[in-house]
Homo-oligomer: A and B are copies of this chain.
Amino acid sequence: MDRAQRSGMGRPRGFDADEALERALQVFWRQGYEGATLTDLTNAMGITRTSMYAAYGNKEALFRKALERYTEGPASYMARALEKPTARAVAEYLLNGAVQATTRPDCPAGCLGVQGALATGEPGQAAHDALVTWRRSGEDAICERFARARDEGDLPADSDPARLARYIATLAYGISVQAATGVPREGLRQIIDTALQTWPKSRPEPS
């Protein structure tokens, strides 16, 4: 099913499967899993329903493949961030990457991993669960990176990697919501600056 494998081989696929998947990704990104209809998807992909089902399985499988592509494409800043030398650099690169990815002029605002299926009815449950897993695994990766940083002395010995990772991930999610709300790139960058600074020193006693 997946590919022409048997003897005769037959006619090869007449469209670029990667390009079509990219189009599907854009639709899921913009409209969410439930909001993206088969008609929306196949129109954007430039193929018929039949070809879509033959090539990807069904809507849910298409979503999963789109999510994979998203991880390796627009969200690849995540993997790169983890390779930065210090925890602080990891956090900065990650948050800046989130700002970039959620405000690309040629892509929908926001993050597929957040807005793809945050709250769904029964038919979208599988997509919802897939994104929960996606977010958790991302946060776990940050946590492990921070744990390493602590072991290396890059972070204080008494710091809590899981807590820091959750904090950074929370900021990234919040940034993606703000992007979906329409906040421009510069406004999001200010959030990072504020987050990585202290709360402004207030006068001790205002009254």
Contacts and interface: CB of A to CB of B under 8 A. Distances in A.
B35 A202 contact: no
A196 B174 CA distance: 16
Interface in A1-51: 29-32, 34-37, 40
B199 A88 contact: yes
A191 interface: yes
A187 B201 CA distance: 26
- Binding site secondary structure of chain A: helix
A68 B191 CA distance: 28
A124 interface: yes
Contacts of A191: 163, 166-167, 170
A88 B121 contact: no
A32 B32 CA distance: 11
A72 interface: no
A86 B167 contact: no
Interface in A84-121: 85-88, 91, 108, 110, 114-116, 118-121
Interface residues of A, number: 67
Interface of A: 29-32, 34-37, 40, 85-88, 91, 108, 110, 114-116, 118-121, 123-124, 132, 135-136, 152-156, 159-160, 163-164, 166-167, 169-175, 177-178, 180-183, 187, 190-191, 194-203, 206-207
A51 to B, nearest CB: 22
B195 A166 contact: no
Contact of A187 (B34, B156, B166): B166
Contact of A119 (B35, B86, B173, B199): B35
